[in-house]
Amino acid sequence: MIKTKVFCLLVVLTLGLYSCKEQKTTQTDNQAIELFELTVSDIHKAYEEGTFNSEQLVLAYTQRIKDFDGTINAITILNPQALQVAKALDKEYKETGILRPLHGIPIIVKDNINTAGLPTTAGSLALKDFIPEEDAFIIKKLVEADAIIIAKSNMAEWAFSPMHTESSTAGTTRNPYNTDYVPAESSGGTGASIASNFGTIGLGTDTGNSIRGPSSHNSLVGFRTTLGLVSRSAIVPLYLRNDVVGPMCRTVEDATKVLEIIAGYDSDDPLTKNSEGKIPTSYTQFLKKDALVGARIGVLRELSDSDPDPEIKTLFEQSLSELDSLGATVVDSVVVPGFASLKENQWCAPFREDVEGFLASYVKNDSIKTIEDIIEAAKYF
């Protein structure tokens, strides 16, 4: 049985404290590609210098998934069209010499986000045959930026688990740093995938902690985006009052580049109307080495000191010291009046309404229309 470890988080950005030590070089067309912690900038530099191309990179990542995912169990399906897309992008780049923001960057997508031609199951056997005909709004935006959907990742069934990543469709995902431990929460498949160097960037969803938790457990940077900033349309909901979608990447820079693409108004998610006129022309303009100077970062001790693992407690305190040394003002601690009562009753009371709305809008299957249908379907698998 997998052990669960409680991890303290720094809100919004999860700071990686370790990096996977296991490395594997993939040989493609006599060109060695070192996949270890590749970033968007690394890849685009390689494309410009002719070190490798999109097709070779997709082949290398695909081989790594085949070599290692048997142990990690993070990937639910490889995209059979990824290589064809990569070849087309290589042809385009050869003709134009232009690299779009995510040109040829392999991305791993959580299995509750509609991706045309690939199953979107939300980890449930009830949706095992649901294959969307159209991409979710954010996937369209990423594809327009020339990202390559290389695979989809396992998740906690219906995104309900606050601790581990287990589904009836794909089983249990393990943490690549130590397979006796969990990758954490519902986006653990994406977190474990990026930590395992199965892709360059990833997408997760977060209702309570499901981007931030797996990012912490897998030494990544994860953004829980502001409600209304990024569209949730064509994403299987858990609790639309709290649901968001965001990037999970190796670096702040890569996560920022993904956010820059996916942020924006979508008529199918009315909440994004609130973001109109408030999104800067560029998020990458804020990537400055001294950006923490003068920043005020609060420490919610009522949460962070709630029986943490001693090792994690030490690392948390170390991170606070590092923030201070980088010029931030650490406000230790912050008190939220009534926090104990505010955090109660945060469960997903409207789940029926939210998920049945998704089924009606996207699945459109007469045999799977209600919660009762989902429960009934599970009896026959």
pLDDT per position as a tens digit, 183-226: 999 999 999 999 999 999 999 999 999 999 999 999 999 999 99
Three-state DSSP class for residue 208: coil
In 36-195, at which residue ranges do the beta strands (DSSP E only) sit?
Answer: 75-78, 106-110, 148-153, 166-167, 171-172
Name the catalytic one among 54, 110, 153, 275.
110
Does residue 154 contact residue 173 with C-beta atoms inside 8 Å?
yes
Q: How many CB atoms lie within 10 A of CB 83?
A: 17
pLDDT reported for residue 377: 82
Q: Which amino acid type is present at position 375?
A: I
Tens digit of each residue's pLDDT (9 = 90 or more) over 25-79? 444 454 589 999 999 999 999 999 999 999 999 999 999 999 999 999 999 999 9
pTM, entire model:
0.90
Are the beta carbons of 213 and 119 closer than 8 angstroms?
A: no
Higher per-residue confidence, 347 vs 270: 270
Helices 252-262 and 40-49, packing angle to 10 deg? 90
Residue 105's closest CA among 251, 287, 245, 213? Answer: 251
Average pLDDT over residues 114-125: 97
* Other CB atoms within 10 Å distance of the CB of residue 301: 12
- What digits encode the pLDDT tens for the residues 46-61? 999 999 999 999 999 9
In this structure, the number of other CB atoms found within 10 A of the CB of residue 127 comes to 24
Q: Residues 68, 20: contact at Cβ < 8 Å? A: no
User: Is the confidence at residue 16, as pLDDT, over 80?
Assistant: no
Which pair of structure tokens corresponds to residue 360? Answer: 């009606």
Distance CA 245, CA 148 (A): 18
* Residue 9 pLDDT level (bands cut at 50, 70, 90): very low
List 153, 187, 210, 219, catalytic entry:
210
Residue 2: is its pLDDT beyond 90?
Answer: no
Active site residue 19: no
How far is the C-alpha of 285 from the C-alpha of 291, rounded, in Å?
Answer: 11
Q: Which residues pair with 249 in a beta bridge?
A: 201, 221
pLDDT at 380 over 90: no
**Any catalytic annotation for residue 210?**
yes
* 110 a catalytic residue: yes
Burial class (CB in 10 A: 0-12, 13-18, 19+), 375: exposed
| Rounded average pLDDT over 172-181 | 97
Which one is catalytic: 153, 161, 186, 216? 186
Identify residue 117 by its one-letter amino acid code.
Answer: G
